[in-house]
Amino acid sequence: MVTGAGSPGAPGVIKSLRKVSQMHIEIIGVDTSAHATGFPLSDEFYTIPKASDNHFISDVLNICRSEKIDTILPMVTKELLEFSKNKQLFLDSGTVVSVSDYDNLVIANDKGKLLHKLALIGIPTPAFEIVQTAETLKEAISRLGYPQHPVCFKPTISNGSRGFRILDPNINRATMMFKEKPNSTYTSMNDLFDILEHVDEIPEIIVMEYLPGKEYSVDVLANNGKVVTAIPRLREATVGGITTSGIVVKETDIIEYASKVVVELGLHGNIGVQIRRDSNHDPKILEINPRMQGTIVHCLGAGVNLPYLAIKLALGLRIEPHELLVKWGTRMNRYWEEIYFDTYGSPFSL
């Protein structure tokens, strides 16, 4: 079962599983939307409630029983804690959920708890503060060096690019307005606090130093805190937080940094670690996606089928050395593709 079948990364995960020749894999796609793009790519598909719904676990469990699901590969961040809490319930029905332990997920999913934990054990992190009011947000922005230096902020619990903004007084806002598409992450102090003036409360926010260097997504496969492989992807272009152009790079310090984070947090399965270099070229963490990332399919092109290897881990099958050989330097560019639905709501592709 692949959850979040309508997510941007789902077609790539399904494509990865279709490339497996060593075993027959039947793919069951599930999503909260009846028009999920991954449905026509799956062997069977079901709509399910959101993770916050009281019927989420029971509905997914019933599908697992009826379809005889061996493994669940979750792709939705908000589902992870629910799956982790109920791992044994699924296991008793014969289904292994590829997910980290609950306590470790609580830290990994919360950017504030994550940075506090890493700083406590001596792993370098960006300078940061956690705030909960507009007034303390303004104070933290100042303490972290603004306007002499750009800073960024994001809700402590969010995923993708939701809520992420950069404050940089050197950005030419007229150029952004007239020459760029209206999807920039840059904002100004005036715009920020004009918005907050009309808001009763704000979510808990992490304010961080802005890291000006290159950005990487590291796809890590871990077996209960033991790293099986870590593959960095240099992000050259993104849309909505999803990589549209990138290259698989063998940069040892990035690999070591991401691996140490995953080991210290005891994470399991497919894990994504977002890293950016600071002004001294040193790697520092941005966040963790404790699940398959949206561009994990890039690793398939580089010779490593990470979704399949997660299934092998779940089923207790040996991962062979040749399955971990990376074709370093593999570049990937993305393009749009279409899924159609007929007048009865049945999906198809051309």
pLDDT at residue number 3? 98
**Strands of 151-155's sheet in order across:** 128-131, 205-209, 151-155, 165-167, 186-187
Residue partners of 29: CB distance under 8 A and separation at least 6 = 1, 2, 5, 10, 14, 36, 38, 39, 41, 42, 44, 45, 46
- pLDDT of res. 339: 87
Integer Rg of the chain from CA: 21
Mean pLDDT of 198-223: 93
Q: pLDDT-derived band of residue 194, with 50, 70 and 90 as boundaries?
A: confident
Q: What mean pLDDT value characterizes the chain?
A: 94
Q: Mean pLDDT over residues 164-188, rounded? A: 79
- Helical H runs in the chain? 10-18, 56-67, 80-85, 87-92, 102-109, 111-120, 134-143, 173-179, 189-196, 252-265, 297-301, 306-315
Q: Give 284's pLDDT tier (boundaries 50, 70, 90).
A: very high
What are the pLDDT digits (tens) for 48-73? Answer: 999 999 999 999 999 999 999 999 99
Q: pTM of the prediction?
A: 0.92
Task: Summarize the confidence of residues 182-208 as an average pLDDT.
Answer: 84
- Structural domains for the chain: 10-99+338-348 (3.40.50.20), 105-109+212-333 (3.30.470.20), 127-209 (3.30.1490)
Which range among 17-26, 226-235, 236-245 shows the weakest confidence by mean pLDDT? 236-245
- pLDDT confidence of 192, banded at 50, 70, 90? confident
Looking at residue 171, what is its pLDDT? 81
Percentage of the chain lying above the pLDDT 90 cut: 80
pLDDT in tens, 113-144: 999 999 999 999 999 999 999 899 999 999 99
Residue 82: predicted pLDDT: 98
pLDDT tens digits for 4-53? 999 999 999 999 999 999 999 999 999 999 999 999 999 999 999 999 99
Return the pLDDT at 85: 97
pLDDT at 173 over 90: no
Q: Residue 269 pLDDT > 80, yes or no?
A: yes
The answer to whether residue 183 scores a pLDDT higher than 70 is no
**What local confidence, expressed as pLDDT, does residue 56 receive?**
98
Q: What are phi and psi of 147, to 5 degrees?
A: -95, 5
pLDDT at 105: 97
Q: Sheet of 226-239: strands edge to edge?
A: 283-289, 269-277, 215-223, 226-239, 242-248, 331-333
- For the segment 288-333, what is each residue's pLDDT rounded down to a tens digit? 999 999 999 999 999 999 999 999 999 999 999 999 999 999 999 9
pLDDT digits (tens, 9 = 90+) for 252-265: 999 999 999 999 99
Higher pLDDT, 186 or 297: 297
